[in-house]
Amino acid sequence: MDTQHSPDWYMRLLGAMTRAQSQLIGTVDRQQLFDGLLDALLELGDSEYGFIGETHLNEEGAVYLRTHAITNIAWNEYTRKHFEENAPNGLEFHNLKTLFGHVMTEGKPVVANAPAEDPRRGGLPLGHPELRSFLGLPLHSAGRMIGMVGIANRPDGYDEKLIEDLSPFLQTCANAIFALRADDERNQAVNELSDEQQRLHAILDSAYEAIITIDQSGVIESINQQGEKMFGYSGEELVGANVSTLMPAPYRLEHDSYISNYLDTGDSKVIGQGREVLGLKRDGEEFPVHLTITETKVKDTALFIGMVKDLSERDQADEKLRQLQRQLDKSRFGQMIGKSPPMQNLYRVINDVATGDWTVLIEGETGSGKELVARAIHAASQRSKGPFVAVNSGALTDSLLGSQLFGHRRGAFSGAIKDQLGYFQAAEGGTLFLDEIGDISDEVQISLLRAIESAEVAPIGQVDTQQIDVRIIAATNRNLADAVREGTFRSDFLYRLRVGRIIVPALRERSQDIPLLAEAFLAEMRLATGKAMNPLANPVMHLLENYNWPGNVRELKSAIQFATIHCRNDSISLHDLPPEIQHQEVATLQGASKQSSLEQDIVLALEQTGGNRTEAARLLGMSRATFYRKLKYLGIK
């Protein structure tokens, strides 16, 4: 049973990873970090409860688990109290004769879709919630297991496809545990140092991985354990050696000259500057690192501290993200996004009309993506290597008609100081896209009809006509058949344009595509604003899917931009959306007028999430713990 995930699932996975990675770089507290990771894991795994934990060894050398995040599955007053008192600092699990214990001892995934019959089970305490399915996955870093995640009660059970698709997310969880473990080890070491050593350590504390100190001749004075591990040497082998040992050419050859030049002139090539370079391991392997070198004085002697971060895992994570993007691209056609039946039909029609060279009329509402359709036709045609020239037909004025469309020769009229190409000549060998064709005058219609039928134009100031090789694609948001009946559009011109005909569906006719489009626009805004935005919560998405969208895809993109700009945290809420979209909920909010503002928001969030407290908390921008406290305080069941 390998379940194929939808493109929006991969978009949520991408968002969860991006958010976690930005939080690791930032200053977010670890509880918020792991709560967010667990929330994302439960959503991606469609699971009822779960945990993320770090593995440790006890005094006897046996492995046990301490949680960083865990759902509250207390089944009585005692377990509830135990959870509330101990969960913030991490719950410990030592029983290895369980499904998750098997993960810790074997270091391999455990899939149990019939836990009651699984020989690896350890049984459940009396009153414990029913365990219908379980998935346990180890977390590895640098070749060793450092933790695990467990999720339970997925309606359709767990499979290998889910494990494979969660692989980049699991690496993100492992990176988070590894980074925080390194912080803990550094903090513990600082506490054990003398005051004088602490001051020196403070200089080095910004290092994430290796810390290497060298004297002014480039000789290594010290290297920490992370540095030994990173480069594959022991400290005894490196102390007293030149630091260029850890560099491939050309850095090895240039390093000593950088130091001597700096000491002589003060002109720094690398001191005080962070940059990406290559490191060299003992076995000869080159690998990407980020290097920052700072200078300090110890007894009036220069000491240089190099802080080195291994970028190999970053590059691997980037490749995973690129793979996810390629999977999302499966729902794209050119620059269009959509997998709904109307869009699948549109893609087929685009392919059909792209095979020939006939004129095409694209009809559709404002903002529905008519120019994207025209560009897709051009890209799929034999003219794809030629130019694509887009023209706002409404701007074609009668007074400048000839010059705009067909060009002119120098001296053809006052102000014609040089030869000028028209739109037809500019599109030679390619496609001329005439947008808003229904807004042009009768004179422009006649000129265009003549040029299309004869395949030749005469620039102003030139007697002879010249042949043109241009395909015409036109677009309109008007009903041109009605315009013909009203006498505002020529019937012969309409029939000449409408050889190939495409009707672009309005967004309300393909609401199935709204989640894909919304998440794609949100991803664009993450890059534009630098905000680590969470994927859109279900209530927000539900509201977007039920809005009429008179401005179509263009309006949806504008709404996501508006919400991202006005959002005060990392999750877009209903109140961040434009007013015209929010108004759908006015009646519901007015019906709750007797409640306090906070209570009203919580009740509404619970209603919109079907009682899912995790989703409701996310919608309101609260942590789960804060949300539970508010529920208890307000007496909301």
> Which of 152, 186, 220 represents a domain boundary (last residue)?
186
Q: pLDDT of 448-458, one tens digit each?
A: 899 899 988 88
Between these two residues, 563 and 329, which has the higher pLDDT value?
Answer: 563
**Domain count along the chain:** 4
Residue 498 shares a structural domain with residue 517? no
Q: pLDDT of 600-617, one tens digit each?
A: 778 888 877 778 888 788
Q: pLDDT of 232-276, one tens digit each?
A: 999 889 999 998 889 888 777 777 777 777 776 666 555 666 778
Using pLDDT thresholds of 50, 70 and 90, give the confidence band for residue 304.
Answer: confident
- The mean pLDDT of 44-55, rounded to a whole number, is 92
For strands 210-214 and 220-223, give the pairing: antiparallel
Give the 3-state DSSP-derived string for 31-63, with helices as H, strands as E and coil as C.
HHHHHHHHHHHHHHCCCCEEEEEEEEECCCCCE
Q: So what's the pLDDT on residue 207?
A: 42
Instruction: Examine residue 453 and state whether it is found in any structural domain, yes or no.
Output: yes
Residue 349 shares a structural domain with residue 289? no
- Can you tell me the distance from the alpha carbon of 368 to that of 555, in angstroms, rounded to the nearest whole number? 9
Residue 260 shares a structural domain with residue 202? yes
- Can you tell me the distance from the alpha carbon of 563 to that of 507, in angstroms, rounded to the nearest whole number? 19
Q: pLDDT of 577-592, one tens digit each?
A: 998 888 764 434 443 3
> Which of 148, 169, 186 represents a domain boundary (last residue)?
186
* Residue 401 region by backbone torsions, left for phi larger than 0, else alpha for psi between -120 and 50, else beta: alpha
- The mean pLDDT of 453-480, rounded to a whole number, is 88
What residue type is assigned to position 35 of the chain? D
Helix (H) or strand (E) holding 317: helix 312-328
Using pLDDT thresholds of 50, 70 and 90, give the confidence band for residue 308.
Answer: confident
Q: pLDDT of 270-303, one tens digit each?
A: 566 677 888 899 999 998 888 888 777 766 777 8
Residue 495 shares a structural domain with residue 351? yes
- Can you tell me the distance from the alpha carbon of 312 to that of 429, in angstroms, rounded to the nearest whole number? 46
Most confident of 86-90, 102-106, 523-527: 102-106
Q: Provide the residue range defining the domain that includes 268.
A: 195-314
What's the CATH code of the domain at 549?
Answer: 1.10.8.60
Residue 32 shares a structural domain with residue 165? yes
Collect contacts of 611-617 with beta carbons under 8 A, ≥24 apart: 612/538, 614/39, 614/42, 614/43, 615/537, 615/538, 615/539
Residue 143 shares a structural domain with residue 277? no
Helix (H) or strand (E) holding 542: helix 538-546
- Can you tell me the distance from the alpha carbon of 218 to that of 204, in angstroms, rounded to the nearest whole number? 18
| 249: Cα within 13 Å, side-chain hemisphere | 1
Give the 3-state DSSP-derived string for 90-157, with helices as H, strands as E and coil as C.
CCEECCCCCHHHHHHHHCCCEEECCHHHCCCCCCCCCCCCCCCCEEEEEEEECCEEEEEEEEECCCCC
Task: Round the average pLDDT of the chain to a whole number and report it.
Answer: 82
